Amino acid sequence: MTSTRPVSWPLARAYRAPSTVIRGREFRWGARTYVMGIINVTPDSFSGDGVNADPGAAAALACRFEAEGADILDIGAESSRPGAQELDPAEELRRLLPCLRAVRAATGLPISVDTYHASVAEAALEAGADAVNDIWGLRRDPDMAAVAARAGCPVIAMHNQRGRTFHDVVGDIAAGFEATLAIASGAGIPPERIILDPGFGFGWTPEQNLEMLRRLPELWRFDLPLLVGTSRKSTIGLVLDAPVDQRLEGTAATVAFSIAAGADIVRVHDVAAMVRVARMTDAIARAGWRQPPAL
């Protein structure tokens, strides 16, 4: 006779700190999934949603995302799609700062700045950004860690596999995280201010991207919150044979799976839909829903 036993879901996670406060808002790790809305102020965003350095459009998008339930906004002025032109920091700031100031005036949501240039990060933090989102995990610009340390701000540090020798998906990500944490420690950034991103879509094959999501629980060992950004990316397009404007369902599937596998923040373009996906997945994976009492 086959026996059954109760299933505990999800497995218990530990965090070095129970929460992080960003612009007065507490992000309580493990309590629920937080949704980050993407604001691209670029003319060449892969997803076709760039506002092309238009402050009014950036502010309007920020207000829409806030109304749709975003917890944090991520604003960037340089496309990170494969093959995109690398910007001079001066040009990046020319695009970024007017939009960032407009977004800051329009909303009280926390804002992270998506940049790997220390000078851009420093200027953005002075202009109202609250955190740094570095796609090179403090490993590209040697001054980035010092800027973040002086500001005392949270850092979202991604492992970027581009240009690196492949060995093993999780092994390479873990090695990247360890290098990032060593740099942060040397600069005086405590691990409690760091959010880790495994870098979906950055230097991986489609098969490796999918393996990354399956093996996400192996990265729990760092005891730090995880951010996952799969939204509209090419792996989804390849699996579904879908152009970028038809990847909503594929994004929803990857977001739900990432949450069940331990993601604490999901970075998305379609905020309203993904807020619902996160809420539903949390109700299952985090046991975070209770039926309201009858009136």
290 has catalytic annotation: no
**Is 5 an active-site residue?**
no
pLDDT exceeds cutoff 90 at 143: yes
pLDDT higher than threshold 70 for residue 65: yes
- Distance separating alpha carbons of residues 98 and 100, to the nearest angstrom: 6
Query: How far apart (Å, rounded) are the C-alpha atoms in residues 177 and 151?
Result: 21
Given a cut of 80, whether residue 11 has pLDDT beyond it is no
Name the band, by pLDDT with cuts 50, 70 and 90, for residue 10. low
pLDDT (average), residues 226-244: 97
Residue 291 vs residues 149, 287, 294: alpha-carbon distances, Å: 44, 12, 9
pLDDT at 85 over 90: no
Nearest to residue 160, comparing CAs of 131, 133, 132?
Answer: 133
Return all residues near 263 (Cβ < 8 A) that are at least 6 apart.
33, 216, 226, 227, 228, 255
pLDDT at 9 over 50: yes
- Supply the CATH classification number for the domain 19-285: 3.20.20.20
Question: What integer pLDDT is reported at residue 29 of this predicted model?
Answer: 96
Place of tokens 């506002």: 51
Pairing of strands 19-22, 25-28: antiparallel
Alpha-carbon separation of residue 105 from 58, 98, 127, 215 (angstroms): 11, 11, 10, 40
Cα–Cα distance for residue pair 38/81, rounded to 1 Å: 14
Catalytic residue, chosen from 95, 193, 247, 267, is 267
What's the whole-number mean pLDDT along residues 78-95? 88
Q: For the chain, what are the domain ranges?
A: 19-285
At position 277, the amino acid (one-letter code) is V
Q: Is the pLDDT of residue 152 over 50?
A: yes
Q: What is the pLDDT of residue 250?
A: 98
Q: Which of 156, 175, 179, 157 is nearest to 165 (CA)?
A: 175
Where does the pLDDT of residue 275 fall: very low under 50, low under 70, confident under 90, or very high at 90 and above?
very high
117 contacts 89 by C-beta, under 8 angstroms? yes
Rounded to whole angstroms, the maximal C-alpha distance in the chain is 70
User: Which is catalytic among the residues 95, 104, 233, 247?
Assistant: 233
Residue closest to 204 by CA, chosen among 244, 234, 241? 234
